[in-house]
Amino acid sequence: MDLDANRSLIVAALTRIAGGEKTALQTVYRLTSAKLFAICLRILGSREDAEDVLQDVYLTVWRKAADFDASRASPMTWLIAIARNRAIDRLRANRSGPVRSPLETAAAVADAAPGAEDRLAQNEEQMRLRTCLDALAAEEGRSLRDAFFEAHTYEELARRDGIPAGTMKSRIRRALMKLKNCLDNAAIR
């Protein structure tokens, strides 16, 4: 699911939570709990404390969903702020010594999503792969796609095309060699 669709689902669910709909809280939990748990765990360093704080986060979401304003912040920003604040509160309660500032703690929480440069490189690689796959002969391209993207066996593909399994293996091997050459040449340009 893309980010905009995910964001829309969360915003809609937060609106329904403000109206008291319990299933909407399940939706928000399903879409956000992994990231929020990771933030709590990173700050607290204890799985047990992170689980407790995560529960507090969703209780807060249930009580304060009406306070969310999509024009002021993205839903994830709002949820992350709640999780971070709850985790820092727990950390302060558990410690008797000096506490790192929230800014120091927040900087340690890395976003696992790929950055813009990584996404651009992935898109370029996907374009090269599509171009090279499209350059293969029709049977080779179809057999290669079915073997690797659809997880069909050589035997299944051979039966489908009415040829011996050895011939299908050779066809796919030739297609792989052509694909490799095309990708190597595309990378040089």
So where are the chain's domains?
3-107, 116-188
Contact 140, 171 (CB under 8 A): yes
Lowest mean pLDDT among 82-86, 102-106, 158-162: 102-106
Asked if the model's pLDDT at residue 91 lies above 70, the reply is: yes
Closest CA to 86 of 63, 59, 112: 59
- pLDDT band for 86, please (50, 70, 90 cuts): very high
Torsion of CA 105, 107, 112, 114, to 10 degrees: 170
* The domain over range 3-107 is classified in CATH as 1.10.10.2840: no
- pLDDT band for 47, please (50, 70, 90 cuts): very high
Residue 175: strand, helix, or coil = helix
Query: Could you give the percent of the chain with pLDDT greater than 70?
Result: 86
CA 8, 9, 11, 15 dihedral sign is positive
Q: How far apart are CA 88 and CA 46, in angstroms?
A: 13
At 1 the pLDDT is 52
Contact 43, 91 (CB under 8 A): yes
Using left for φ > 0, alpha for ψ between -120 and 50, and beta otherwise, residue 152 falls in beta
Instruction: Count the neighbouring beta carbons within 10 Å of the beta carbon of residue 64.
Output: 14
What's the farthest any 2 CA atoms get from each other in the chain?
A: 75
At 101 the pLDDT is 60
At 107 the pLDDT is 58
Contact 165, 158 (CB under 8 A): yes
At 17 the pLDDT is 92
Contact 68, 46 (CB under 8 A): no
Mean predicted lDDT score pLDDT of the chain: 85
Between 146 and 117, the more confident residue is 146
**Entry pTM:** 0.50
Contact 43, 105 (CB under 8 A): yes
Asked if the model's pLDDT at residue 32 lies above 60, the reply is: yes
Asked if the model's pLDDT at residue 165 lies above 60, the reply is: yes
Lowest mean pLDDT among 5-9, 134-138, 154-158: 5-9
CATH topology of domain 116-188: Arc Repressor Mutant, subunit A (1.10.10)
* 59 Cβ contact partners less than 8 Å away, ≥ 6 residues apart: none
